[in-house]
Amino acid sequence: MGFDALIKNRRSVRKFTDKQVDIEIVKELIRQSTFAPSAGNEQPWKFIVVNDKSMIQKISDESKKNILARVEANPDDYAKKYRGMLRKETFNVFYNAPCLVMILGEAGLKNLLVDCALAASYFMMAAAARGLGTCWVNLGTQIHDPAMKKALGIPDDCDIVAPIILGYPEKIPPVPGRKEPDMLKIIQ
């Protein structure tokens, strides 16, 4: 698949078949994602793989609870638009995906967000190149319960940057329109 086809196949996927993802494939995608560049070649990314639907369900419940509490405390919170959805008991923030990969790193590192986003981008394209679907689920970053953090191996000094769901897509959604690039200036 050429690059132009690849970027059109890398779609945010929210409907997956029941097929599990082989753990060796997940590890290979993670290995490929570490070929991303990073500031000063520091490679600050760390990874957690949850290849188990019941654990993913628990993380979804924890995330929903924490985001709803935040929205109730601050009605101007950016997540307030998700309130109705988050209140539905059947709503799983990870769309019942069979696998969840979290990219995280030491909180406070100057380039952590950018470096983890670059690795995430590689991960999502590597998955698309193999016919797998992904979606970066920002709602999945809010894990506060100490017992759950321990079960997941999240160190106290780390922030989750990119929770990415992974699975075999029921179908590849069509490419939604892209705005024309906003070119502020061309100097030549």
Distance of CA 168 to the CA centre of its chain: 15
By residue count, the chain amounts to: 188
In terms of CB distance, is 73 or 89 closer to a copy of itself? 73
How far is Cα 105 from Cα 163, in angstroms, rounded to an integer? 12
Among 66, 96, 111, 141, binds a copy of itself (CB under 8 A): 111
146 binds a copy of itself (CB under 8 A): no
Bridge partner list, 95: none
Give the orientation angle of helix 112-129 with respect to helix 23-33, to 10 degrees. 130
User: Are 101 and 48 in contact, with CB atoms under 8 Å apart?
Assistant: yes
The stretch among 65-73, 86-94, 140-148, 151-159 that binds a copy of itself (CB under 8 A) is 151-159
DSSP 169: B
Contacts to a copy of itself from residues 49-78, by CB under 8 A: 49-52, 55, 78
Considering the rule CB under 8 A, would residue 89 count as an interface residue with a copy of itself?
no
Interaction between residue 95 and a copy of itself (CB under 8 A): no
Nearer to a copy of itself (CB atom), residue 36 or residue 68: 36
Q: In the Cβ-directed half-sphere of 95, how many Cα atoms lie within 13 Å?
A: 22
Instruction: Count CB atoms within 10 A of the CB of residue 187.
Output: 3
DSSP 9-21: H--B---B-SPPP
Q: Which stretch binds a copy of itself (CB under 8 A): 41-49, 62-70, 86-94, 140-148?
A: 41-49
Beta bridge partners of 103: 47, 162
> Does residue 126 interact with a copy of itself by CB under 8 A?
yes
Q: Which of 8, 15, 19, 144 binds a copy of itself (CB under 8 A)?
A: 8
- Residues lying near a copy of itself in the complex (CB under 8 A) are found at 1-4, 6-8, 10, 12, 23, 27, 30-37, 39, 41, 43, 45-52, 55, 78, 104, 110-111, 113-114, 117-118, 120-122, 124-126, 129, 136, 138, 151-155, 161, 175-176, 178-179, 181-188
